[in-house]
Structure 1
Amino acid sequence: MKTTFTYKQINDCSIKGDFYSTEEKNAPLIVYIHGGGLIWGSREDMHKEQIKRYQEAGFNVCSIDYRLAPETKLPDITKDIGDMLQWLHDEGRKTYDFNADKIAVTGSSAGGYLALLSGTLPVKPKVIVSFYGYGNIQGDWYTKPSPHFLKMTKVPENLAKQLIQHKPVSEAPIERRYAIYLYCRQQGKWIDYVTSWNPGINADALSMYCPVENIDADFPATLLLHGDADKDVPYQESVNMHEALSNAGITTELITIPNGEHSFDENMENPTVTKAFDQVISFFKSNL
Protein backbone atom coordinates (compact mmCIF):
# COMPACT_ATOMS: atom_id res chain seq x y z
CA MET A 1 0.00 0.00 0.00
CA LYS A 2 1.27 3.47 -0.92
CA THR A 3 0.50 6.68 0.94
CA THR A 4 1.85 10.14 0.11
CA PHE A 5 3.08 12.68 2.63
CA THR A 6 4.60 16.17 2.58
CA TYR A 7 7.75 16.47 4.67
CA LYS A 8 8.54 20.09 3.83
CA GLN A 9 6.78 23.16 2.49
CA ILE A 10 8.64 26.09 0.89
CA ASN A 11 6.08 28.76 -0.01
CA ASP A 12 3.86 27.01 -2.58
CA CYS A 13 6.36 24.19 -3.23
CA SER A 14 5.34 20.99 -1.46
CA ILE A 15 8.14 18.44 -1.13
CA LYS A 16 6.66 14.97 -0.89
CA GLY A 17 7.39 11.34 -0.34
CA ASP A 18 5.61 8.05 -1.00
CA PHE A 19 5.57 5.45 1.78
CA TYR A 20 5.22 1.74 0.97
CA SER A 21 4.50 -0.35 4.05
CA THR A 22 5.57 -3.91 4.62
CA GLU A 23 3.49 -6.34 6.65
CA GLU A 24 6.10 -6.71 9.39
CA LYS A 25 5.77 -4.54 12.48
CA ASN A 26 8.49 -2.04 13.40
CA ALA A 27 10.47 -3.01 10.30
CA PRO A 28 13.49 -1.06 9.00
CA LEU A 29 12.96 1.70 6.44
CA ILE A 30 14.72 2.10 3.09
CA VAL A 31 14.59 5.67 1.74
CA TYR A 32 15.12 6.01 -2.01
CA ILE A 33 16.44 9.21 -3.64
CA HIS A 34 15.92 9.47 -7.40
CA GLY A 35 18.54 10.49 -9.93
CA GLY A 36 18.43 13.01 -12.74
CA GLY A 37 21.58 15.08 -12.33
CA LEU A 38 19.75 16.99 -9.54
CA ILE A 39 17.83 18.61 -12.43
CA TRP A 40 14.91 16.28 -13.20
CA GLY A 41 13.03 13.32 -11.73
CA SER A 42 10.51 12.51 -9.04
CA ARG A 43 9.73 10.05 -6.26
CA GLU A 44 7.74 8.00 -8.78
CA ASP A 45 10.94 7.07 -10.63
CA MET A 46 11.71 4.19 -8.27
CA HIS A 47 11.43 0.87 -10.08
CA LYS A 48 8.30 -0.97 -8.93
CA GLU A 49 10.09 -4.33 -8.96
CA GLN A 50 12.69 -2.94 -6.56
CA ILE A 51 9.98 -1.73 -4.20
CA LYS A 52 8.39 -5.18 -4.30
CA ARG A 53 11.68 -6.93 -3.59
CA TYR A 54 12.44 -4.73 -0.58
CA GLN A 55 8.94 -5.17 0.84
CA GLU A 56 9.06 -8.95 0.41
CA ALA A 57 12.40 -8.92 2.24
CA GLY A 58 10.72 -7.23 5.22
CA PHE A 59 11.55 -3.56 4.66
CA ASN A 60 9.35 -0.49 4.51
CA VAL A 61 10.18 1.72 1.53
CA CYS A 62 9.97 5.48 1.14
CA SER A 63 10.68 7.27 -2.17
CA ILE A 64 11.17 11.02 -1.83
CA ASP A 65 11.28 14.24 -3.82
CA TYR A 66 13.65 17.14 -3.23
CA ARG A 67 13.93 20.59 -4.77
CA LEU A 68 15.63 20.49 -8.15
CA ALA A 69 18.45 22.53 -9.64
CA PRO A 70 19.11 25.01 -11.07
CA GLU A 71 16.12 26.77 -9.47
CA THR A 72 17.38 25.50 -6.11
CA LYS A 73 21.10 25.26 -5.43
CA LEU A 74 23.02 22.36 -3.92
CA PRO A 75 23.21 23.65 -0.32
CA ASP A 76 19.40 23.87 -0.15
CA ILE A 77 18.97 20.53 -1.92
CA THR A 78 21.24 19.01 0.71
CA LYS A 79 19.15 20.69 3.40
CA ASP A 80 16.05 19.01 1.97
CA ILE A 81 17.68 15.60 2.45
CA GLY A 82 18.64 16.49 6.00
CA ASP A 83 15.18 17.85 6.76
CA MET A 84 13.63 14.69 5.35
CA LEU A 85 15.68 12.49 7.68
CA GLN A 86 14.81 14.75 10.62
CA TRP A 87 11.11 14.63 9.68
CA LEU A 88 11.16 10.84 9.61
CA HIS A 89 12.68 10.76 13.09
CA ASP A 90 10.37 13.43 14.56
CA GLU A 91 7.08 13.19 12.68
CA GLY A 92 7.14 10.28 10.27
CA ARG A 93 7.40 7.68 13.03
CA LYS A 94 4.13 9.06 14.48
CA THR A 95 2.29 8.33 11.24
CA TYR A 96 4.00 5.22 9.92
CA ASP A 97 5.09 1.98 11.57
CA PHE A 98 8.84 1.70 11.08
CA ASN A 99 11.97 1.45 13.20
CA ALA A 100 13.44 4.96 13.27
CA ASP A 101 16.74 3.54 14.50
CA LYS A 102 17.05 1.43 11.36
CA ILE A 103 16.85 3.81 8.42
CA ALA A 104 18.84 3.24 5.24
CA VAL A 105 19.24 5.66 2.34
CA THR A 106 19.75 4.49 -1.22
CA GLY A 107 19.72 6.25 -4.56
CA SER A 108 20.84 6.09 -8.16
CA SER A 109 23.25 8.43 -9.97
CA ALA A 110 22.62 11.92 -8.52
CA GLY A 111 20.40 10.16 -5.98
CA GLY A 112 23.35 7.93 -5.12
CA TYR A 113 25.42 11.06 -4.67
CA LEU A 114 22.83 12.53 -2.28
CA ALA A 115 22.67 9.19 -0.47
CA LEU A 116 26.44 9.37 0.07
CA LEU A 117 26.12 13.01 1.10
CA SER A 118 23.55 12.00 3.75
CA GLY A 119 26.40 10.28 5.56
CA THR A 120 27.89 13.71 6.29
CA LEU A 121 24.70 15.24 7.73
CA PRO A 122 23.79 15.75 11.42
CA VAL A 123 21.01 13.15 11.20
CA LYS A 124 22.55 10.20 9.38
CA PRO A 125 21.06 6.98 8.09
CA LYS A 126 22.44 3.75 9.49
CA VAL A 127 23.22 2.33 6.05
CA ILE A 128 23.87 3.83 2.60
CA VAL A 129 23.58 2.03 -0.73
CA SER A 130 24.73 4.02 -3.75
CA PHE A 131 23.93 2.91 -7.28
CA TYR A 132 26.49 4.53 -9.62
CA GLY A 133 26.72 7.61 -7.40
CA TYR A 134 29.75 9.82 -6.97
CA GLY A 135 31.82 11.16 -4.12
CA ASN A 136 33.60 14.03 -5.86
CA ILE A 137 31.75 16.74 -7.77
CA GLN A 138 34.97 18.60 -8.62
CA GLY A 139 36.41 15.97 -10.94
CA ASP A 140 37.17 16.66 -14.60
CA TRP A 141 34.27 14.42 -15.63
CA TYR A 142 31.84 17.03 -14.23
CA THR A 143 33.78 20.28 -14.61
CA LYS A 144 34.91 19.77 -18.22
CA PRO A 145 32.94 18.96 -21.39
CA SER A 146 31.99 15.28 -21.53
CA PRO A 147 33.16 13.38 -24.64
CA HIS A 148 30.14 11.08 -24.27
CA PHE A 149 27.57 13.88 -24.21
CA LEU A 150 29.37 15.86 -26.91
CA LYS A 151 28.41 13.07 -29.34
CA MET A 152 24.75 13.97 -28.82
CA THR A 153 22.79 16.81 -30.43
CA LYS A 154 24.25 20.09 -29.28
CA VAL A 155 22.01 22.07 -26.92
CA PRO A 156 22.23 25.88 -27.19
CA GLU A 157 22.40 27.83 -23.95
CA ASN A 158 19.24 29.80 -24.70
CA LEU A 159 17.22 26.56 -24.88
CA ALA A 160 18.59 25.35 -21.55
CA LYS A 161 17.76 28.68 -19.91
CA GLN A 162 14.24 28.71 -21.37
CA LEU A 163 13.49 25.50 -19.46
CA ILE A 164 14.42 26.97 -16.08
CA GLN A 165 11.41 27.95 -13.98
CA HIS A 166 11.02 31.13 -11.94
CA LYS A 167 10.11 29.29 -8.75
CA PRO A 168 11.29 26.16 -6.92
CA VAL A 169 10.23 22.81 -8.34
CA SER A 170 10.44 19.47 -6.52
CA GLU A 171 9.44 17.09 -9.31
CA ALA A 172 9.78 17.30 -13.08
CA PRO A 173 9.82 14.78 -15.95
CA ILE A 174 12.99 14.15 -17.89
CA GLU A 175 11.31 15.34 -21.10
CA ARG A 176 11.11 18.90 -19.78
CA ARG A 177 14.54 19.09 -18.21
CA TYR A 178 17.04 16.81 -19.94
CA ALA A 179 18.21 19.56 -22.28
CA ILE A 180 19.43 21.53 -19.24
CA TYR A 181 21.55 18.61 -18.09
CA LEU A 182 22.78 17.85 -21.59
CA TYR A 183 23.87 21.47 -22.05
CA CYS A 184 25.69 21.39 -18.70
CA ARG A 185 27.57 18.20 -19.57
CA GLN A 186 28.44 19.38 -23.08
CA GLN A 187 29.85 22.63 -21.72
CA GLY A 188 31.28 21.39 -18.42
CA LYS A 189 28.96 23.78 -16.58
CA TRP A 190 27.08 21.45 -14.24
CA ILE A 191 28.75 22.98 -11.17
CA ASP A 192 27.89 26.48 -12.39
CA TYR A 193 24.20 25.66 -12.85
CA VAL A 194 23.78 23.54 -9.71
CA THR A 195 25.71 25.75 -7.28
CA SER A 196 26.43 29.12 -8.97
CA TRP A 197 30.00 28.62 -7.75
CA ASN A 198 33.16 28.63 -9.84
CA PRO A 199 35.14 25.39 -9.38
CA GLY A 200 38.41 27.24 -9.68
CA ILE A 201 37.53 29.94 -7.16
CA ASN A 202 35.14 28.21 -4.75
CA ALA A 203 36.93 24.87 -4.32
CA ASP A 204 36.76 25.02 -0.52
CA ALA A 205 32.99 25.57 -0.55
CA LEU A 206 32.50 22.77 -3.07
CA SER A 207 34.63 20.35 -1.07
CA MET A 208 31.97 20.45 1.67
CA TYR A 209 29.65 18.72 -0.81
CA CYS A 210 32.12 16.01 -1.80
CA PRO A 211 31.36 12.96 0.36
CA VAL A 212 34.75 11.39 -0.40
CA GLU A 213 36.40 14.34 1.37
CA ASN A 214 34.12 14.29 4.42
CA ILE A 215 34.30 10.76 5.77
CA ASP A 216 34.58 10.47 9.54
CA ALA A 217 34.33 7.64 12.07
CA ASP A 218 30.52 7.97 12.17
CA PHE A 219 30.01 7.51 8.44
CA PRO A 220 27.38 4.81 7.83
CA ALA A 221 28.08 1.34 6.47
CA THR A 222 28.11 1.82 2.70
CA LEU A 223 27.54 -0.44 -0.28
CA LEU A 224 28.47 0.85 -3.73
CA LEU A 225 27.26 -0.61 -7.02
CA HIS A 226 28.63 0.56 -10.36
CA GLY A 227 28.94 -0.69 -13.91
CA ASP A 228 32.48 -0.61 -15.28
CA ALA A 229 31.19 0.61 -18.68
CA ASP A 230 29.33 3.65 -17.32
CA LYS A 231 29.73 6.57 -19.75
CA ASP A 232 27.91 9.12 -17.56
CA VAL A 233 29.33 8.70 -14.05
CA PRO A 234 32.81 7.15 -14.15
CA TYR A 235 33.16 3.75 -12.47
CA GLN A 236 36.29 5.15 -10.81
CA GLU A 237 34.06 7.36 -8.64
CA SER A 238 32.80 4.33 -6.75
CA VAL A 239 36.28 2.77 -6.67
CA ASN A 240 37.65 5.95 -5.08
CA MET A 241 34.79 6.16 -2.58
CA HIS A 242 35.22 2.52 -1.60
CA GLU A 243 38.95 3.03 -1.06
CA ALA A 244 38.41 6.15 1.06
CA LEU A 245 35.78 4.41 3.19
CA SER A 246 38.01 1.36 3.65
CA ASN A 247 40.94 3.54 4.68
CA ALA A 248 38.70 5.24 7.27
CA GLY A 249 37.69 1.88 8.75
CA ILE A 250 34.06 2.11 7.57
CA THR A 251 32.14 -1.06 6.72
CA THR A 252 31.96 -0.96 2.93
CA GLU A 253 31.60 -3.17 -0.14
CA LEU A 254 31.86 -2.47 -3.87
CA ILE A 255 29.85 -4.51 -6.36
CA THR A 256 31.11 -4.16 -9.92
CA ILE A 257 28.68 -4.89 -12.74
CA PRO A 258 30.80 -6.24 -15.64
CA ASN A 259 30.08 -4.25 -18.81
CA GLY A 260 27.37 -2.47 -16.83
CA GLU A 261 26.29 0.88 -18.19
CA HIS A 262 24.53 3.78 -16.49
CA SER A 263 21.10 2.83 -15.10
CA PHE A 264 21.93 -0.88 -15.29
CA ASP A 265 19.45 -1.53 -12.47
CA GLU A 266 16.50 -0.66 -14.70
CA ASN A 267 16.84 -4.12 -16.23
CA MET A 268 15.53 -6.16 -13.31
CA GLU A 269 15.30 -9.28 -15.51
CA ASN A 270 19.07 -9.41 -15.99
CA PRO A 271 20.49 -12.25 -13.82
CA THR A 272 23.53 -10.15 -12.91
CA VAL A 273 21.27 -7.35 -11.67
CA THR A 274 19.04 -9.81 -9.82
CA LYS A 275 22.07 -11.25 -8.05
CA ALA A 276 23.27 -7.74 -7.19
CA PHE A 277 19.92 -6.97 -5.55
CA ASP A 278 20.19 -10.15 -3.49
CA GLN A 279 23.51 -8.77 -2.25
CA VAL A 280 21.94 -5.37 -1.56
CA ILE A 281 19.23 -6.97 0.57
CA SER A 282 21.85 -9.03 2.42
CA PHE A 283 23.84 -5.87 3.11
CA PHE A 284 20.74 -4.16 4.50
CA LYS A 285 19.94 -7.11 6.72
CA SER A 286 23.51 -7.38 8.01
CA ASN A 287 23.91 -3.70 8.84
CA LEU A 288 20.48 -2.43 9.88
Structure 2
Amino acid sequence: MKKTIVYKQAGSHEIKADFYGVEARNAPVLMYIHGGGLIFGSRDDMKEEQIKLYNEAGFAVFSIDYRLAPETKIADIKLDVEDAFLWLKTKGSELFQIDPERIFISGGSAGGYLSLLSGTFETKPKGIISFYGYGDIIDRWATESSAYFRAMSSVPKELVDMLIKKEPLSEGPINQRFGIYLYGRQTGSWIEDMTGYDPILQRDLVKKWSPYWNVSADFPPTLLLHGTKDDDVPYEESVKMAKALTEAGVPNKLITIPGGVHVFDENMDDPAVKDAFNEVISFLHSLS
Protein backbone atom coordinates (compact mmCIF):
# COMPACT_ATOMS: atom_id res chain seq x y z
CA MET A 1 0.00 0.00 0.00
CA LYS A 2 1.34 3.42 -0.98
CA LYS A 3 1.48 6.25 1.54
CA THR A 4 2.55 9.73 0.41
CA ILE A 5 4.30 11.98 2.92
CA VAL A 6 5.98 15.38 2.95
CA TYR A 7 9.51 14.80 4.20
CA LYS A 8 10.68 18.39 3.85
CA GLN A 9 9.40 21.93 3.58
CA ALA A 10 11.75 24.19 1.61
CA GLY A 11 10.30 27.63 2.12
CA SER A 12 6.73 27.30 0.87
CA HIS A 13 7.58 24.27 -1.27
CA GLU A 14 6.64 20.77 -0.08
CA ILE A 15 8.93 17.90 -1.11
CA LYS A 16 7.24 14.51 -1.11
CA ALA A 17 7.99 10.81 -1.05
CA ASP A 18 5.98 7.62 -1.45
CA PHE A 19 6.34 4.73 0.98
CA TYR A 20 5.50 1.18 -0.07
CA GLY A 21 5.48 -1.00 3.01
CA VAL A 22 5.65 -4.72 3.71
CA GLU A 23 3.80 -6.68 6.38
CA ALA A 24 6.83 -7.47 8.51
CA ARG A 25 7.84 -4.98 11.18
CA ASN A 26 11.42 -3.76 11.48
CA ALA A 27 11.85 -4.33 7.74
CA PRO A 28 14.82 -3.02 5.75
CA VAL A 29 14.12 -0.18 3.32
CA LEU A 30 15.30 0.76 -0.15
CA MET A 31 15.23 4.53 -0.69
CA TYR A 32 14.87 5.15 -4.43
CA ILE A 33 16.03 8.30 -6.27
CA HIS A 34 14.68 8.94 -9.76
CA GLY A 35 16.78 10.01 -12.72
CA GLY A 36 16.28 12.76 -15.28
CA GLY A 37 19.59 14.59 -15.50
CA LEU A 38 18.66 16.30 -12.19
CA ILE A 39 16.20 18.32 -14.32
CA PHE A 40 13.06 16.22 -14.82
CA GLY A 41 11.32 13.20 -13.32
CA SER A 42 9.47 12.39 -10.12
CA ARG A 43 9.00 9.78 -7.42
CA ASP A 44 6.32 8.17 -9.63
CA ASP A 45 8.98 7.11 -12.14
CA MET A 46 9.85 3.97 -10.20
CA LYS A 47 8.42 0.99 -12.03
CA GLU A 48 5.63 -0.91 -10.27
CA GLU A 49 7.24 -4.19 -11.24
CA GLN A 50 10.42 -3.20 -9.44
CA ILE A 51 8.56 -2.01 -6.34
CA LYS A 52 6.79 -5.37 -6.22
CA LEU A 53 10.09 -7.20 -6.65
CA TYR A 54 11.66 -5.41 -3.68
CA ASN A 55 8.53 -5.79 -1.53
CA GLU A 56 8.35 -9.51 -2.23
CA ALA A 57 12.00 -9.79 -1.21
CA GLY A 58 11.08 -8.24 2.15
CA PHE A 59 12.17 -4.65 1.52
CA ALA A 60 9.98 -1.60 1.98
CA VAL A 61 10.47 1.09 -0.67
CA PHE A 62 10.73 4.86 -0.17
CA SER A 63 10.65 6.71 -3.51
CA ILE A 64 11.55 10.39 -3.17
CA ASP A 65 11.23 13.67 -5.00
CA TYR A 66 13.92 16.35 -4.74
CA ARG A 67 14.12 19.91 -5.96
CA LEU A 68 15.09 19.95 -9.62
CA ALA A 69 17.83 21.83 -11.44
CA PRO A 70 18.59 24.34 -12.78
CA GLU A 71 16.13 26.21 -10.58
CA THR A 72 17.83 24.51 -7.62
CA LYS A 73 21.57 23.82 -7.67
CA ILE A 74 23.32 20.59 -6.74
CA ALA A 75 24.30 21.72 -3.22
CA ASP A 76 20.63 21.98 -2.26
CA ILE A 77 19.64 18.87 -4.24
CA LYS A 78 22.22 16.90 -2.27
CA LEU A 79 20.77 18.38 0.92
CA ASP A 80 17.26 17.24 -0.08
CA VAL A 81 18.46 13.67 -0.58
CA GLU A 82 20.29 13.72 2.74
CA ASP A 83 17.24 15.17 4.49
CA ALA A 84 15.04 12.44 2.97
CA PHE A 85 17.43 9.79 4.26
CA LEU A 86 17.58 11.33 7.74
CA TRP A 87 13.77 11.73 7.83
CA LEU A 88 13.38 8.05 6.97
CA LYS A 89 15.95 7.09 9.59
CA THR A 90 14.25 9.07 12.38
CA LYS A 91 10.61 10.01 11.85
CA GLY A 92 10.08 7.38 9.18
CA SER A 93 11.33 4.57 11.36
CA GLU A 94 8.69 5.46 13.96
CA LEU A 95 5.84 6.08 11.52
CA PHE A 96 6.42 3.01 9.36
CA GLN A 97 8.09 0.77 11.96
CA ILE A 98 11.06 0.01 9.73
CA ASP A 99 14.67 -0.70 10.72
CA PRO A 100 16.61 2.60 10.71
CA GLU A 101 19.92 0.73 10.58
CA ARG A 102 19.04 -1.11 7.35
CA ILE A 103 18.36 1.67 4.86
CA PHE A 104 19.79 1.28 1.36
CA ILE A 105 19.87 3.95 -1.35
CA SER A 106 19.40 3.24 -5.06
CA GLY A 107 18.64 5.12 -8.24
CA GLY A 108 19.16 5.27 -11.97
CA SER A 109 21.21 7.72 -14.04
CA ALA A 110 21.07 11.04 -12.12
CA GLY A 111 19.47 9.01 -9.34
CA GLY A 112 22.44 6.67 -9.49
CA TYR A 113 24.74 9.68 -9.20
CA LEU A 114 22.84 10.96 -6.17
CA SER A 115 22.90 7.46 -4.69
CA LEU A 116 26.69 7.41 -5.03
CA LEU A 117 26.83 10.91 -3.56
CA SER A 118 25.11 9.53 -0.44
CA GLY A 119 28.36 7.69 0.25
CA THR A 120 29.83 11.08 1.17
CA PHE A 121 27.09 11.87 3.74
CA GLU A 122 28.06 12.17 7.38
CA THR A 123 25.47 9.51 8.19
CA LYS A 124 25.66 6.89 5.46
CA PRO A 125 23.26 4.27 4.12
CA LYS A 126 23.82 0.56 4.69
CA GLY A 127 24.59 0.07 1.01
CA ILE A 128 24.32 1.77 -2.38
CA ILE A 129 23.01 0.53 -5.73
CA SER A 130 23.73 2.65 -8.79
CA PHE A 131 21.98 1.86 -12.07
CA TYR A 132 23.90 3.48 -14.98
CA GLY A 133 24.99 6.29 -12.66
CA TYR A 134 28.07 8.46 -12.73
CA GLY A 135 30.72 9.44 -10.23
CA ASP A 136 32.76 12.10 -12.00
CA ILE A 137 30.99 15.30 -13.06
CA ILE A 138 34.19 17.13 -13.99
CA ASP A 139 35.19 14.59 -16.64
CA ARG A 140 34.92 15.52 -20.32
CA TRP A 141 31.84 13.35 -20.97
CA ALA A 142 29.85 15.67 -18.70
CA THR A 143 31.47 19.04 -19.31
CA GLU A 144 31.86 19.01 -23.09
CA SER A 145 29.30 19.03 -25.89
CA SER A 146 27.98 15.53 -26.57
CA ALA A 147 28.04 14.25 -30.16
CA TYR A 148 25.19 11.86 -29.32
CA PHE A 149 22.92 14.69 -28.20
CA ARG A 150 24.09 17.09 -30.94
CA ALA A 151 22.68 14.60 -33.47
CA MET A 152 19.22 15.38 -32.07
CA SER A 153 17.22 18.49 -32.95
CA SER A 154 19.00 21.59 -31.72
CA VAL A 155 17.37 23.29 -28.74
CA PRO A 156 17.33 27.11 -28.86
CA LYS A 157 18.32 29.03 -25.74
CA GLU A 158 15.04 30.97 -25.93
CA LEU A 159 13.07 27.74 -25.39
CA VAL A 160 15.21 26.81 -22.38
CA ASP A 161 14.64 30.22 -20.84
CA MET A 162 10.88 29.69 -21.24
CA LEU A 163 11.02 26.25 -19.62
CA ILE A 164 12.93 27.33 -16.52
CA LYS A 165 10.62 28.32 -13.67
CA LYS A 166 11.01 31.20 -11.24
CA GLU A 167 10.15 29.03 -8.25
CA PRO A 168 11.61 25.67 -7.12
CA LEU A 169 9.86 22.53 -8.29
CA SER A 170 10.28 18.87 -7.43
CA GLU A 171 8.11 17.16 -10.04
CA GLY A 172 8.91 17.77 -13.69
CA PRO A 173 7.40 15.80 -16.58
CA ILE A 174 9.96 14.73 -19.18
CA ASN A 175 7.92 16.12 -22.09
CA GLN A 176 8.14 19.60 -20.58
CA ARG A 177 11.69 19.54 -19.21
CA PHE A 178 13.83 17.31 -21.45
CA GLY A 179 14.69 20.31 -23.62
CA ILE A 180 16.64 21.85 -20.74
CA TYR A 181 18.75 18.71 -20.38
CA LEU A 182 19.19 18.36 -24.12
CA TYR A 183 20.39 21.95 -24.43
CA GLY A 184 22.91 21.46 -21.63
CA ARG A 185 24.36 18.31 -23.20
CA GLN A 186 24.42 19.85 -26.68
CA THR A 187 26.23 22.98 -25.56
CA GLY A 188 28.35 21.51 -22.77
CA SER A 189 26.75 23.81 -20.20
CA TRP A 190 24.98 21.03 -18.27
CA ILE A 191 27.29 20.80 -15.26
CA GLU A 192 27.64 24.56 -14.89
CA ASP A 193 23.84 24.87 -15.09
CA MET A 194 23.43 22.19 -12.38
CA THR A 195 26.10 23.44 -9.99
CA GLY A 196 26.30 27.18 -10.61
CA TYR A 197 30.08 26.84 -11.13
CA ASP A 198 32.28 26.50 -14.19
CA PRO A 199 33.64 22.92 -14.06
CA ILE A 200 36.81 23.97 -15.87
CA LEU A 201 37.68 27.27 -14.18
CA GLN A 202 36.28 26.21 -10.79
CA ARG A 203 37.23 22.55 -10.99
CA ASP A 204 38.02 22.10 -7.29
CA LEU A 205 34.65 23.53 -6.26
CA VAL A 206 32.73 21.19 -8.55
CA LYS A 207 34.91 18.21 -7.62
CA LYS A 208 33.39 18.11 -4.12
CA TRP A 209 30.09 16.95 -5.69
CA SER A 210 31.81 14.11 -7.56
CA PRO A 211 31.59 10.80 -5.66
CA TYR A 212 34.55 9.47 -7.65
CA TRP A 213 36.83 12.12 -6.16
CA ASN A 214 35.50 11.66 -2.63
CA VAL A 215 35.67 7.92 -2.07
CA SER A 216 36.93 6.99 1.39
CA ALA A 217 37.42 3.75 3.28
CA ASP A 218 34.06 4.21 5.07
CA PHE A 219 32.09 4.45 1.81
CA PRO A 220 29.18 1.96 1.98
CA PRO A 221 29.31 -1.32 0.06
CA THR A 222 28.27 -0.52 -3.49
CA LEU A 223 26.70 -2.36 -6.40
CA LEU A 224 27.06 -0.78 -9.85
CA LEU A 225 25.04 -1.80 -12.91
CA HIS A 226 25.74 -0.43 -16.38
CA GLY A 227 25.21 -1.31 -20.03
CA THR A 228 28.10 -1.28 -22.48
CA LYS A 229 26.10 0.61 -25.14
CA ASP A 230 24.97 3.51 -22.97
CA ASP A 231 25.03 6.66 -25.14
CA ASP A 232 23.97 9.00 -22.33
CA VAL A 233 26.19 8.04 -19.38
CA PRO A 234 29.36 6.22 -20.50
CA TYR A 235 29.83 2.66 -19.22
CA GLU A 236 33.34 3.75 -18.24
CA GLU A 237 31.85 5.89 -15.47
CA SER A 238 30.90 2.77 -13.53
CA VAL A 239 34.22 1.11 -14.37
CA LYS A 240 36.06 4.11 -12.93
CA MET A 241 33.88 4.16 -9.84
CA ALA A 242 34.44 0.45 -9.20
CA LYS A 243 38.19 0.95 -9.48
CA ALA A 244 38.16 3.88 -7.04
CA LEU A 245 36.10 1.87 -4.54
CA THR A 246 38.39 -1.14 -4.83
CA GLU A 247 41.48 1.00 -4.31
CA ALA A 248 39.88 2.42 -1.15
CA GLY A 249 39.12 -1.08 0.14
CA VAL A 250 35.34 -0.67 -0.22
CA PRO A 251 33.35 -3.84 -1.04
CA ASN A 252 31.85 -3.37 -4.50
CA LYS A 253 30.75 -5.15 -7.63
CA LEU A 254 30.13 -3.99 -11.19
CA ILE A 255 27.43 -5.85 -13.11
CA THR A 256 27.93 -5.33 -16.82
CA ILE A 257 24.98 -5.62 -19.19
CA PRO A 258 26.51 -6.53 -22.59
CA GLY A 259 24.91 -4.34 -25.24
CA GLY A 260 22.80 -2.67 -22.56
CA VAL A 261 21.58 0.85 -23.33
CA HIS A 262 20.67 3.69 -21.00
CA VAL A 263 17.70 2.73 -18.80
CA PHE A 264 18.25 -0.92 -19.74
CA ASP A 265 15.97 -1.97 -16.87
CA GLU A 266 12.90 -0.77 -18.76
CA ASN A 267 12.85 -4.26 -20.27
CA MET A 268 12.29 -6.41 -17.20
CA ASP A 269 11.65 -9.45 -19.46
CA ASP A 270 15.23 -9.45 -20.74
CA PRO A 271 17.04 -12.46 -19.19
CA ALA A 272 20.15 -10.34 -18.56
CA VAL A 273 18.03 -7.77 -16.69
CA LYS A 274 16.33 -10.50 -14.66
CA ASP A 275 19.73 -11.91 -13.71
CA ALA A 276 20.90 -8.43 -12.76
CA PHE A 277 17.95 -7.90 -10.43
CA ASN A 278 18.57 -11.29 -8.84
CA GLU A 279 22.04 -10.02 -8.01
CA VAL A 280 20.57 -6.77 -6.67
CA ILE A 281 18.32 -8.72 -4.29
CA SER A 282 21.23 -10.93 -3.27
CA PHE A 283 23.34 -7.86 -2.56
CA LEU A 284 20.60 -6.38 -0.37
CA HIS A 285 20.08 -9.64 1.52
CA SER A 286 23.82 -10.04 2.09
CA LEU A 287 23.90 -6.74 3.99
CA SER A 288 20.55 -7.05 5.79
TM-score by shorter chain over 0.5:
yes
Q: Which residue pairs with 2:233 in the alignment? A: 233
Aligned to 2:35, the other structure's residue is in SS state coil
Residue 75, structure 1, aligned to residue 75, structure 2: yes
Aligned counterparts of 1:196 and 1:216: Cα–Cα separation in 2 = 26
What letter corresponds to residue 108 of structure 1 in structure 2?
A: G
Partner Cα distance (1:230, 1:55) in 2 = 29
Q: Greater shift after overlay, 116-125 or 195-204?
A: 195-204
Q: d(CA) in 2 for partners of 1:113 and 1:172?
A: 18
| Matched residue SS, 1:99 | strand
Answer yes or no: is the 8 Å Cα contact 1:19–1:62 preserved in 2. yes
- Aligned mates of 1:62, 1:99 — CA distance in 2: 13
What is the TM-score normalised by the length of structure 2? Answer: 0.99
Deviations 1:131-190 (A, max 9, x none): 000000011111111010011000011111110000000111001100000000000110
Pairing of 1:251-270 with structure 2 (within 5 A): 251-270=251-270
SS at match of 2:98: coil
Q: Structure 1 stretch 205-214 or stretch 85-94: which is displaced more? A: 85-94
1:212 matched residue in structure 2? 212
Gaps of 5+ in 2: none
Q: CA deviation at 1:207?
A: 0.8
1:112 corresponds in structure 2 to: 112
Amino acid at match of 2:3: T
TM-score (structure 1 length as normaliser)? 0.99
Q: 5 Å matches for 1:178-193?
A: 178-193=178-193
Instruction: Identify the residue that residue 56 of structure 1 maps to in structure 2.
Output: 56
Q: How far did 1:218 drift? A: 1.1
Amino acid at match of 2:67: R
- Give, in whole Å, the separation in 2 of the partners of 1:82 and 1:64: 11
TM-superposed CA distance for 1:275, in Å, is: 0.8
Query: Alpha-carbon deviation of 1:88?
Result: 1.3
- Runs (4+) of structure 1 exceeding 2 A deviation are none
- 3-state SS, counterpart of residue 260 of structure 1: coil
Cα distance in 2 between the residues matched to 1:128 and 1:259: 24
- Aligned-partner SS, 1:63: strand
- Across the aligned residues of Structure 1 and Structure 2, the Cα RMSD in angstroms comes to 0.7
For residues 109 and 72 of structure 1, the distance between their equivalents in structure 2, rounded to whole angstroms, comes to: 18
Three-state SS of the structure 2 residue aligned to 1:117 is helix
| CA deviation string 1:80-102 (max 9, x = no partner) | 11111111122111111211000
- Residue 165 of structure 2 aligns with which residue? 165
* Conserved 8 A contact 2:111-2:133: yes
Q: Name the counterpart of 1:26.
A: 26
Deviation track 1:197-256 (CA, whole Å, cap 9, x = no partner) reads 111221111111010111112100000000000000000000000011011110100000
- Compute the displacement of 1:11 (Å): 2.0
Structure 2 residue 6 is the aligned partner of structure 1 residue 6 = yes
